[in-house]
Amino acid sequence: MGLIYVEMGVAREGGPEQTVRFLIDSGAAYSVLPWRVWHTLGLKPKRRLEFTLADGTIIRRRLSDCRFTYQDIDVPGPVVLGERNDAACSASSPWRAWAWCSIPSSGRSSRCA
């Protein structure tokens, strides 16, 4: 099994779009935007949640909402507003709506027919 990365657009409602390279995490409930990206997009925190990491560490992060786009598909979704060292990671939930298939051995993904 390999790592799968996908470039997709993210934007706040009615705002400019920025392309971000996301690691797809099939076990994640939320997508994470790096600090620089969400600041550039002008996203505003709406709430806070606690998350438990694999090692048991509990962290708190702010959440907002944004739009995710890939090819001709545009969907809204919640997003974790990452801190300065957080990387871009996409939950698989938007991808389920887009009927995605992944090819684990190649690290590529494509839309299913």
| pLDDT mean over 99-104 | 46
- Class of the 5-111 domain? mainly beta
How much is the pTM? 0.77
Domain ranges of the chain: 5-111
Q: 100 falls in which pLDDT band (50, 70, 90)? A: very low
Indicate the average pLDDT of the chain: 83
Q: What is the mean pLDDT of residues 83-112?
A: 61
The 3-class SS string of the chain reads: CCCCEEEEEEECCCCCEEEEEEEEECCCCCEEECHHHHHHHCCCCCEEEEEECCCCCEEEEEEEEEEEEECCEEEEEEEEECCCCCCCEEECHHHHHCCEEEECCCCEEEECC
